[in-house]
Structure 1
C-alpha cells in the first residue's frame, strides 16, 4: 500500500487589484497566515484590537479554571457550592496573586490547579507586558509628504519635485531618501514586467532633517521620464515610490517612512507655493499652512528633446 500523501496547508489565493491607480494585493485565507505569525499580528494590530484580545483571553482563562475548580465540589473553602462566580473570582485572585484570604484551596486537586494557574498567570503577565512594551517602544516616523509632486524648470532644466517635512520638530540625523519609478513595460522578448528605475536626486541625504526638504530629480536625457508624455505615464501605470530612513535623535533608533505618487498626482507646469517668509524685523519663519499648495507656472515654454509635457 502506498502511503497517503501529506496534506499541505492551503495557500491563499492572491489577486492584484488597482485602486486609484495604486497596486494593492488581496488574498483569500490571509487571516490563516496571520494567525500563524501571532507576534507580528499582535505588534501590528490596532490598540483597540490588542486590548480586546488581552481582555478576552483573560476572561476566557479564568472561566476555564473556574469550571475546573467546580469539577470537584468543596475544593474551595468559603465558596458557595457549585457557584460559578465564586470560582471565577477565586481564579482571578489566584492568577493575579492577590490572595485576600477569604477563599482558599482545601483539597489536593485544588492546590494542583492553583499551582498550574499561578504559572499560567506569571507567563501571561510576562508575555503581555513584553508585547505591550514592544508596541510602545517601536520607533515610528512622523514625516509628512506633499500631496502631489510637480514638474517645473529649475536652473532651466525640467525637474520633478516634492516636499517632505518632519512633523515632530526634532532632528532626524543622516536622513536618506530614495525615489524609485515603477511602471509596466514589455521586454524585447515580449514579456510583461513591472520594472523599477532608481531616480538620481540633486540631494539624496540630509545630515540634519528638522525642517522642510524639497526633493528634486532633474529630467534630462538619462532620466526614465525623458521622452515620455503624460498619456504614456498613465498607460504604463507609472508610480513613484519614496522611502525615507534616518536616526531619530530622541530615541536614537532608525526610523523609516514611505509614500507613493501615481501619474495623476504629478502636476506638470506647476510649482510649490512659498513657505519661507521673513518678518519686518528680518526674522525668517516657515508657514506649513502652505506646505501642500501648488500654483501653475504661466507662459512656460515647451521643453525640447521630447521631455514630458501634458500633450502627447
Structure 2
C-alpha cells in the first residue's frame, strides 16, 4: 500500500485549475508579487539567462551608455571634440564614436577632448567604462564557473507493460560528452485531489523506482516506476490516469568532474501527458569497429508497442 509523505516544499493547498509546479525548463512555476527587488539580484539574473539574452543586454547597455554621453557631447558643442559637419545626426555619430573610444580606453587619436569641462566628462566616462567592463568580465567568469547540471530529459513519459506490470518510464542523458558519476534520482508524485470538505489539497507520494542510482552514466538511463501494489497509482486505470491532476517531480544529483562537486537538476512530467503503449527507440548502438555510438536525436523518439 502506498504511503503518503510529508510536503517536499511545494505546499499542500491546491486548486482545480492549479498548473504544474515545475516548468519544462526546470524552473518553478511561481509568480512573485509585491516582492522587493535589490540590485544584487541582477548578478544572479545575468549569469542564469541564455547566452543570447546575455549578449543582447551587453549590447543594449553599451549602446545606451554611449548614446547618453554622445548626446551630452553634441549638446555642449561637438567643436570641443572635432570639426562640426553642420549635420546634427553626423555630429551625433562622431560624438558616439568618440564616446566608444573613451569608454573602451582605445583612443585612436583622431578625436580628443578640448577644454576642462570635456576633459572632466570624458574622464568620468572612462571610469564608467573600466567599472562596466570589470563587471562584464566577472559575469563571464561567473557564467563559465557556475556549477550547473547538464541533463537532458526525454520530452515524453510513457506507460507500457513491463515485467507483468504497467510501468511509467522516461529517460535521461548528459547533454555533453561528460560522464555522469554516481547519478541518483528521486521521484515524488503530487496528486491534487478533493478532501472531505470538497477542497483541493495536494497529496504527496514517493515513487519507488526499479533503480534510483547507478555508478556512472555515459549513455542513457531509462527510469522505471512499476505500478504494483506499493504504487500510489495502482487504484487508477489507464483512462483515469489521463484525467487526474498529477505531476511527477524529479530531482537528479550526480558528481560532475568539470566542477569537481555534486550538481542537481529538477524536472517534472504531468500525468495527463502520458503516452500509452509506447517504447523508446534505442539511443546508442555499436559501429563496425566496436565503438559505442550515442545518437542524441533518439532520446525522445518512441514507437508503438503494438507493432512488436
Normalized against structure 1, the TM-score is what? Answer: 0.71
Point out where structure 1 has 5 or more consecutive residues left out of the alignment: 1-15, 300-312
Structure 2 counterpart of 1:219: 227
Quote the offset at 1:125 in angstroms: 0.6
The higher radius of gyration belongs to: 1
1:104 alignment partner, SS class: coil
- C-alpha change, 1:135 and 1:63, in structure 2 (3 Å) is same
Paired residues for 1:148-159 under 5 Å: 148-154=157-163, 156-159=164-167
Task: Note if contact 1:271-1:297 (Cα within 8 Å) is conserved in structure 2.
Answer: no
Equivalent residue number for residue 8 of structure 2? none
RMSD over equivalenced CA pairs, Å: 4.0
CA–CA distance in 1 between the matches of 2:167 and 2:105?
66
> Could you say which residue in structure 2 is the equivalent of 1:54?
58
* Structure-2 separation of matches of 1:272 and 1:266: 13
| Residue 99, structure 1, aligned to residue 107, structure 2 | yes
Aligned to 2:182: 174
Question: Structure 2 CA distance, aligned partners of 1:277 and 1:76?
Answer: 70
Q: Is the 8 A contact 1:34 1:41 kept in 2?
A: no
- Answer whether contact 1:147 1:265 (CA < 8 A) is retained: yes
CA contact (8 A) 1:143 1:257 kept: no
Q: SS of the residue aligned with 1:105?
A: coil
More strand by share: 1
- TM-superposed CA distance for 1:189, in Å, is 3.8
Shift in Å, 1:35? 9.3
Gaps of 5+ in 2: 1-16
**C-alpha distance 100-263 of structure 1, shift in aligned 2 (>3 A):** closer
**What is the TM-score when the length of structure 2 is the normalising length?**
0.72
Pairing of 1:130-209 with structure 2 (within 5 A): 130-138=138-146, 139-145=148-154, 147-154=156-163, 156-209=164-217
Moved more, 195-204 or 266-275: 266-275
1:234 equivalent in alignment to 2:249: no
Q: CA deviation at 1:266?
A: 3.2
Q: Does 1:90 align with 2:98?
A: yes
Q: Is the 8 A contact 1:97 1:118 kept in 2?
A: yes
Contact 2:242 2:271 (8 Å CA) reproduced = yes
Aligned length: 280
CA distance in 1, matches of 2:49, 2:160: 38
Tell me how far apart the structure 1 counterparts of residues 29 and 294 of structure 2 sit (CA, whole Å): 38
Report Cα offsets for 1:64-90 as digits up to 9, x if no partner.
222323454477354438833333222
The answer (yes or no) to whether the contact 1:230–1:263 under 8 Å persists in 2 is: no
Aligned to 1:162, the other structure's residue is in SS state strand
- Aligned-pair distance for 1:39? 3.0
If asked which structure has higher relative contact order (CA below 8 Å, sep 6+), I would say 2
